[in-house]
Structure 1
Amino acid sequence: MLSIKDLTQRIIDFRDKREWKKYHTPKNLAISLVIEVGELLEHFQWKSDEEILKDTKVPEKREQLADELADVAIYTFLLANELDVDLEEAILRKLEKNERKYPVELVRGKYKKYTELVKDDGDSGGYFKTSSGRN
């Protein structure tokens, strides 16, 4: 399996062979990313979760979803490249932050945002809202 860096390089090679780099400014890539997310969302519009999961069993629909997800990933990798963000490092760092913000003992089975979490002892631990509502 290829790493994020290897995938990014393959995407850049594809782009550069077509001389598209001039169009790949951070602003244009961010806009393109949002457009691709919108195209992905079209596959979910007006459908229940059950209908969406059923679609994933139909090879043609599954491929369409996979293509849209790939487009989102490609623009994400290109944008990270243009902004000189090491995406592997950024993802790992963000996971570490989220582990601190969402400790398993406070969030297991819950969907609350970290600002709404309170430890039993009222300690906010730097991320959690105390029982008084202050951070």
Structure 2
Amino acid sequence: MTTPPATDDALIELRTALRRFAAEREWDVFHTPKNLAMALAGEAGEVIEHFQWLSAEQSAALPPDTREAVALELADVLLYLVRLADKLDVDLAEAARRKMDINAKRYPVELARGRALKYQQL
């Protein structure tokens, strides 16, 4: 069984749960945009550690224990991202849709298909 994709409602529920989690621990004072951005970068680094020195093939076929560790690190990244967006009053789902629209214009299918070039190089 596959997990359904995150929806706006799922992000809102996650944001609400994170607000409650932080409030119960009186962590709001620590959750400044600067601190959350730094924590987000640190967690992204922990994701990267699992892939360092792996070949492309190895990175696509992680053993179950490594895959689970990566899943938890990805969750940390998501949690900090949602919390940072909340603190900055950013609607992540809406911002992501806007960014996808921008990327669709920057990377038209007929120019970008099968090419790993920056949009200025297409």
Q: TM > 0.5 between the two?
A: yes
Equivalent position SS for 1:89:
helix
Provide the C-alpha distance between the structure 2 equivalents of 1:50 and 1:11, rounded to a whole number of angstroms. Answer: 36
What SS is found at the alignment partner of 1:3?
helix
Between the aligned partners of 2:65 and 2:49, the Cα distance in structure 1 is 15
Alignment of 1:100-119 (within 5 A): 100-117=105-122
Structure 1 stretches of at least 4 aligned residues deviating more than 2 Å after TM superposition:
none
1:47-86 matches, within 5 Å, as: 47-55=54-62, 58-86=63-91
Q: Which residue of 2 aligns with 1:33?
A: 40
Once residues 32 and 46 of structure 1 are traced to their aligned partners in structure 2, the CA distance between those partners, rounded to angstroms, is 24
Gaps of 5+ in 1: 118-135
Quick one: distance in 2 between partners of 1:116 and 1:11? 41
Match of 1:24 in 2: 31
- The aligned residue for residue 12 of structure 2 is 5
Q: Secondary structure at the match of 1:14?
A: helix
Shift of residue 6 of structure 1? 1.6
TM (norm. structure 2) is 0.88
SS of the aligned residue for 2:61 comes to helix
Cα displacement (A) at 1:83: 0.7
CA shift digits 1:86-113 (9 cap, x unpaired):
1111001001111111111111111111
* Cα root mean square deviation, aligned: 1.2
The percent of aligned pairs where both chains have the same amino acid is 48
Question: Highest relative contact order (Cα 8 Å, sep 6+), 1 or 2?
Answer: 2
Which structure is higher in helix share? 2
| Letter of the 1:82 counterpart | K
